[in-house]
Structure 1
Amino acid sequence: MSSNDIIVSLDIGTSKVRAIIGEMNNGAINIIGVGSADSEGIRKGAIVDIDQTVQSIRNAVEHAERMVDIQISDVYVGIQGNHIGLQTNHGVVAVSNEDREIGEEDIERVLQAAKVVALPPEREIINLVPKQYLVDGLEGISDPRGMIGVRLEVEATIVTGTKTAIHNLMRCVEKAGLRISGVILLSLASGVMSLTKDEKMIGTVLADIGAASTTIAVYEQGGLAAISTLPIGGEFVTNDIAYGLRTQSDQAEKFKLKYGCANVADAADDVKFKVTRMGSNVEKEFSQRDLASIIEPRMQEIFQLIRQEVRRLGYGDKVNGYVLTGGAVALPGTLALAQLELESSVRTALPDYIGVKDSAYSSGVGMIQYVSKYMGVRGAGAVKNSKASSSAPSRKAGPAPSSKPGMFERIKNMFNEFI
């Protein structure tokens, strides 16, 4: 297995850290390894403890490594949060070839020209997403390679984030002994996996409901048009259950996953479970309907807030449907409740791969698809067979060798490679 065949994604969430190993085979993607670990050191989507986050990353990566007996050295890292911002920019260059045929170098130069934008000192570019190319004024070109022209232009969406959030995330990954091949906005990655071409054109909201936050991405005219993050997610449902049943949060999470239902109308009275209440050793019996009566109001609130935020972004009348993804949408009854609250067509998106058919893996699988489609496979997520590399220094042994470029220098170089 060569390193060029492998892409590894790392999704660092509030509740879980997930590492996914994808193998490229004649243009098709196979998911060959999945690792998951409880996320420690992250609260409400922000890193609050570097060491705990590093250990969670190591646990997830080691879990994925054991599945396929390889050692991961390079990963693509997903990023999201309320610090993310979008802005559009325009790049123009003259075609450099004598025969006026547009090549890779011209495309790279015009993308670099589109990155020349005034940013506040605390912000950096994460991704550059071309919306369309123009060749001598001809619009609507998605790939100008091989075309003849004198003037090449690009209209692009620039994704930016705060340096603090980006550097802390990268610092955690590097301290875990991994090299970063790229940083990808999770909403872009989820969009590749979850949305069809038509859905991106007509106006669709992709709502990723995670543990501590809900990310709203509005797609229109084939690309990402707006993005926002709400500080509410599945953890709030768990906290409501813990409060309502007077039990520990970890027990509330187990009851939610095993017996939870987001719609009271779909819950059963004859499904019973016993809860050991805090402050006593007495067990009390509850039904699935009792549990649903706690879950439904919070899920209603989440969908109502999503709808209000879409209106605030200015897309209330432009949206033709919603697509739900993220771990919190796996509860039975979620789809029916969402259709009622959002008053629109709604569906859930699941990765169609063995081992990851769960909405919680949408972002991680989407990153692999995004890399293979837009960033090329070369140099992506290189891995080594653990047996063949037994003489090499262990990834777990400590920090990366000092001969590598400095972290900030590599961040700067990395951002110059994005498409």
Structure 2
Amino acid sequence: MSSGEFIVGMDIGTSKVRVIVAEVTRDNTQIVGVGSAVSKGTKKGAIIDIDQAVQSIREAIYDAERMVGIEISQVFVGICGNHVSLQSSHGVVAVSGENKEIDQEDIDRVIQAAQVVALPPERTVIEVVPNQFVVDGLQDIQDPYGMVGVRLEVEATIATGTKTIIHNVLRCVEKADLSVAGIILLPLAAGEICLSTDERNMGVVLADVGGGTTSFAIHEQGQLVSTGVLPVGGEYITQDIAYGLRTKTETAEELKRKYGVALVSKADKDITFQVPTIGSNREKTVSQEELAGIIEPRVEEIFQLIRDEVKEAGLSDEPAGGYVLTGGVMSLPHILEVAQSQLGPAVRMVSPRYIGVEDPSFTSGVGMMYYIRRRFLHRFIESSEQGNRRSENRKRKSSTWGKIREFFLREFI
């Protein structure tokens, strides 16, 4: 697989729609372009206006196309929200090949077998996450591809979601003249680049503090055991500033980005700025210390809510693997110190590097690219090898996309 395949992921957030383009090879995943647009028509992770959401998607796609110089027609779509639930499942199949060597078709069949569970009519499967494969009784196998055996089993976690919410998201993508290559559980994808194996085994909480919501995922004994979403994020900090200083929301957002710090003790009272007030033609002088006095309580509340949710999920509020934080709000200066004061010392922040830039708001999208490569690497390799045997005027990329898309359409969408 000398030359790569382009894959595209889309994260439709409350504040931004983000598009990530990656080139995937046998050995590497390289982010080659990103695009973003202000998210309209969404609220707390759900679509409330299809036409506005479609427009935001088109703008983000156009932004990414300009950077990469390719036409985007298919995307993987990230899904998260309070409507997502997890349940355990088990699948078993007989290995089909004459030489009993396990291939991708066998893996697909056993995952499909694990998906056969009774669901209420209003719910649908988002993803089947293999926790371990078992080959003829041999357990703890993460990738059975190429192994020899007669019986293949999988212990899996099934992520399900509300049909209406998911179908509305997919409908917006399709109305933006894009086809859906697959749907990915975002908290799971973010963990691909944020969490180590030791953290997953010991017990860890990954929290993505975004614009409109804060999503979290709890991992224990190497498995994803719980996900959830809190209806608080950076927009609430902005609203607090707008009310506290009696100014417009746009002005409050600008002040937060330019002068905001999350810790009052780290703010400089000598740094001042003029703030236009609503209902008056006058501007008032505000110091960075006063601004921090508005920001810090809301940031503390966000971390307190995360801690409460973790305790409610049955995990210690100070998990052995600690807390791993990411998301756009984590760009606020000194926010890590506030997090450590509320969550304990075992807290670290993750900000993925792509195209030479670090931006924690792109963590889920970048993680999606690495997750897709790991889950479907064998399809890329098989498609590449088949493509090498075809004449050069045949497009290998179409074969790869076709196989992955057929797999998702058959099993999940």
Q: What TM-score do the two structures reach when normalised by structure 2?
A: 0.89
Match of 1:17? 17
Residue in structure 2 matched with residue 384 of structure 1 by the alignment: none
Specify the alignment match of 2:364 in structure 1. Answer: 363
Do the aligned residues in 1 keep the contact of 2:351 with 2:363 (CA within 8 Å)? yes
Q: Give the superposition deviation at 1:327.
A: 0.8
Which residue in 2 is equivalent to 1:278?
278
1:337 alignment counterpart: 338
Once the two structures are overlaid, the 10-residue window that deviates more, 91-100 or 75-84, is 91-100
Correspondences of 1:311-350 after superposition (within 5 Å): 311-316=311-316, 319-320=319-320, 321-350=322-351
* Residue in 1 that maps onto 2:303: 303
Unaligned 5+ runs, structure 1? 381-409
Distance 1:139 1:377 in 2: 21
Q: Say which SS state the counterpart of residue 71 (structure 2) adopts.
A: strand
Identity of aligned residues (%): 57
Equivalences for 1:202-281 in 2 at 5 Å? 202-281=202-281
Contact 1:212–1:234, Cα closer than 8 Å, also in 2:
yes
Deviates more, 1:12-21 or 1:101-110: 101-110
Q: Match for residue 384 of structure 2?
A: none
**Distance across 1 between alignment mates of 2:223 and 2:258:** 37
CA distance in 1: counterparts of 2:313 and 2:222, whole angstroms = 18
**Cα distance change, pair 158–74 in 1 and its aligned pair in 2 (3 A):** same
> Are the equivalent residues in 2 in contact too, given 1:125–1:158 (CA < 8 A)?
yes
Match of 1:416 among 407, 410, 413: 410
**Residue 344 of structure 1: CA displacement?**
3.7
Cα offsets for 1:209-253 (capped at 9, x unmatched)? 111111110012222111111111111111000000100011101
CA deviations 1:234-280 (Å, max 9, x no partner) are: 11111000000100011101101111111111111121111000001
Q: Secondary structure at the match of 1:166?
A: helix
Cα distance in 2, alignment partners of residues 103 and 91 from structure 1: 16
2:82 match: 82
Say if 2:327 and 2:363, in contact at 8 Å, map to a contact too: yes
Query: What CA distance in whole angstroms lies between the structure 2 residues aligned with 1:152 and 1:32?
Result: 37
Quote the Cα distance in structure 1 between the aligned partners of 2:235 and 2:317: 30
Residue 414 of structure 1 aligns to which amino acid in structure 2? F
Cα deviation digits, residues 353-392 of structure 1 (max 9, x gap): 2254100000111111111111238689xxxxxxxxxxxx
- Deviation readout 1:260-313 (Å, 9 max, x if unpaired): 111111111121111000001111111111111001101111101100100000
Mapped to 2, the partners of 1:159 and 1:298 lie a distance apart of 31
Q: Contact 1:127 / 1:415 at 8 angstroms: preserved in 2?
A: no
Q: Distance in 2 between matches of 1:375 and 1:123?
A: 25
Q: Supply the distance in 1 between the matched residues of 2:77 and 2:380 (Cα, whole angstroms).
A: 14
Structure number with the bigger relative contact order (C-alpha 8 A, sep ≥ 6) is 1
The yes-or-no answer on 1:172 pairing with 2:159 is no
Amino acid paired to 1:252: A
SS of 1:190's partner is: helix
Match of 2:75, SS state, is: strand
Structure 1 residues 3 and 84 mapped into 2: Cα distance closer, same or farther (>3 Å)? farther
Q: Distance in 2 between matches of 1:35 and 1:411?
A: 23
Amino acid at match of 1:294: I
Q: 2:40 matched to 1:40?
A: yes
Report if the CA contact (8 A) 1:4-1:378 is conserved.
no
Q: Structure 1 residue 92: deviation in Å?
A: 1.4
Total equivalences in the alignment = 388
User: Gaps spanning 5+ residues in structure 2: where?
Assistant: 382-403
CA RMSD of aligned residues (A): 2.1
SS in 2 for 1:172: helix
User: Aligned-pair distance for 1:98?
Assistant: 4.0
Distance 1:140 1:193 in 2: 22
Distance 1:147 1:25 in 2: 23
> CA 1:379–1:273 in structure 2 vs 1: closer, same or farther (change >3 Å)?
farther
Partner of 1:387: none
Distance of aligned partners of 1:180 and 1:334 in 2 relative to their CA distance in 1, 3 Å threshold: same
Partner Cα distance (2:337, 2:47) in 1: 34
Amino acid at match of 1:272: T
Number of the residue aligned with 2:120: 120
Q: Is the 8 A contact 1:47 1:169 kept in 2?
A: yes
Partner of 1:396: none
Q: CA deviation at 1:26?
A: 5.2
